[in-house]
Amino acid sequence: MTEWYRWAAAGIIVMFYGTYFVKRIVLRRRGLDTVRLGKGDKPVTVRRQERLLAGLTVALALIQFGTVIAGRSPWPITRGCVPLAVFGTVAGTVGVCYFVASVMAMRDNWRAGIDASQNTRLVTDGIYLFSRNPAFVGFDLMYAGFASIYPDWTIIVLGVAAAVMFHRQILSEEEYLEKRFGAEYSEYRKRTSRY
């Protein structure tokens, strides 16, 4: 089998993280601080949760890039398992599309983490018509896709841990959004699924 899966994995992570950093740079130039994980006025438990989430996502990104750059092969049991690599490529690509669509729909309202001092509006259009958390769905799909292409225990365990922390972050954000936007968020929540 050729190493097409390596190129697929590289493309997925470059597009995904590239989108994140380009959006961060663009908003930074407009004077907006987009990374609010573990910062700002929030309960200590939320601050700790966000710091753990940030650490997990950075660790996974470094491991993903290191895996591709080192040219590691998948486990022998999955080497040559074209259906698993194809599934991973499709899941990862869909994850990138979800993430890009969510970042574009958020425009200047895009933030990582909760911070009441940030002046944002509730985004309910674009991909947010179908999911209240498409960026997190994008992360989960990208992690699942990459783990299907490179099914390494470290990648799988950290990916599952990150997915659990994303869910906890979503619950915290829902509580915050309910307080911040009241009835507007309640109505949005009724008509749009969490994932």
Question: 26: which 2 tokens?
Answer: 């663009």
Helix residue ranges per DSSP H, 30-43: none
Instruction: Report pLDDT digits (tens) over 63-97.
Output: 999 988 887 766 555 556 778 888 999 999 999 99
How many Å apart are CA 175 and CA 58, to the nearest integer?
A: 25
Going from N- to C-terminal start, the domains of the chain cover 4-191
Question: 61: which 2 tokens?
Answer: 């990104």
CA 134 from centroid of its chain's CA atoms? 8
Instruction: Report pLDDT digits (tens) over 37-59.
Output: 888 888 888 889 989 999 999 99
CA 45 from centroid of its chain's CA atoms? 21
Domain at 4-191, CATH from 3.40.50.2020, 2.60.120.620, 1.20.120.1630, 1.10.10.10: 1.20.120.1630
Within a 10 A sphere around the Cβ of 20, how many other Cβ atoms?
A: 21
Instruction: Report pLDDT digits (tens) over 140-177.
Output: 999 999 999 888 889 999 999 999 999 999 999 999 99
- pLDDT interval class at 100 (50, 70, 90): very high
* Contact present, 194 and 170 (Cβ < 8 Å): yes
Question: 57: which 2 tokens?
Answer: 């996502």
* Contact present, 147 and 87 (Cβ < 8 Å): no
Whole-angstrom CA distances from 73 to 2, 85, 165 are: 11, 12, 28
Q: Which long-range contacts (CB under 8 A, 24 or more apart) does 191-194 make?
A: 192/124, 192/128, 192/129, 192/130, 192/131, 192/132, 193/130, 193/131, 193/132, 194/131, 194/132, 194/133, 194/170
- 2-11, 32-41, 127-136: which is most confident: 127-136
Whole-angstrom CA distances from 105 to 1, 19, 78, 184 are: 39, 13, 37, 18
